[in-house]
């Protein structure tokens, strides 16, 4: 950030009085510009024994498979954001959303919140941000072609939890996620 969105004058980074972090502060109007993490909301859409994945048509990781997810918009709830992203990327409708995985990614200022959900029907197609959308059995998951570790970990948890039909909310720190993928051959990326 170089200029104040309030008055247009240059900003500089400093720790404002009463704060403990560097912030962009306008030297003219003294407005403090806070920058906060972005929330990524999405779904793990399920149809019977299969899960719905989208092949990304956009960067980053164009051509890799992912769950339908994207940035939450102002004025919507997490559930609404997850359902909207599923509709946009997979042209699919979901119901019975239940928060399932939560990943903090401070190195890129994001928080991933993914919901388990049931597909309403089999009326789905590739949306504007997807090259392809398909249902996969566990044995068919393209593990080496998954876009992000958060997606691979969500799928691993789901298939393990599905055996007991118990789906706790999973909140794993980034370090555990990185360590997990360094020690497994299930994911490249």
Q: Is residue 188 part of a domain?
A: no
Determine the average pLDDT of the residues in 85-109.
96
Q: What is the pLDDT of residue 155?
A: 97
Same domain, 91 and 7: no
Neighbours of 89 (CB within 10 A): 27
Same domain, 10 and 46: no
Q: What is the pLDDT of residue 187?
A: 38
Same domain, 28 and 106: no
* pLDDT score of 189 more than 50: no
Determine the average pLDDT of the residues in 74-80.
98
If you search the block for the tokens 């979901």, which residue do you land on? 94
Range of the domain at 127: 38-182
Q: Per residue in 114-137, pLDDT tens?
A: 999 999 999 999 999 999 999 999
Pairing relationship of beta strands 38-47 and 69-71 according to DSSP bridges: antiparallel
* pLDDT score of 107 more than 90: no
Q: What is the pLDDT of residue 161?
A: 98
The total number of structural domains that make up the chain: 2
Q: pTM here?
A: 0.85
Q: DSSP letters of 49-118?
A: TEEEEEEESSSSSTT-EE-SEEEPPTT--HHHHHHHHHHHHH---EEEEEEEEEEEEGGGTEEEEEEEEE
Distance CA 116, CA 95 (A): 9
Q: Is residue 178 part of a domain?
A: yes
């Amino acid at each position: 950030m170089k200029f104040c969105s309030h008055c247009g004058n240059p900003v500089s980074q400093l720790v404002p009085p009463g704060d403990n972090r560097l912030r962009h502060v306008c030297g003219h109007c003294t407005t403090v510009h806070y920058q906060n993490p972005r929330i990524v909301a999405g779904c793990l859409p399920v149809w019977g024994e299969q899960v719905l994945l989208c092949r990304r048509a956009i960067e980053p990781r164009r051509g890799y498979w992912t769950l339908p997810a994207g940035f939450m918009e102002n004025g919507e709830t997490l559930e609404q954001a997850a359902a909207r992203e599923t509709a946009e990327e997979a042209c699919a409708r979901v119901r019975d959303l239940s928060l399932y995985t939560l990943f903090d990614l401070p190195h890129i200022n994001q928080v991933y919140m993914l919901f388990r959900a049931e597909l309403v029907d089999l009326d789905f197609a590739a949306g504007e941000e997807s090259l392809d959308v398909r249902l996969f059995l566990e044995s068919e998951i393209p593990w080496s072609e998954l876009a992000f570790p958060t997606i691979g970990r969500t799928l691993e948890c789901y298939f393990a939890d599905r055996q007991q039909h118990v789906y706790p909310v999973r909140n794993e720190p980034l370090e555990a996620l990185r360590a997990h993928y360094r020690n497994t051959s299930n994911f490249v990326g």
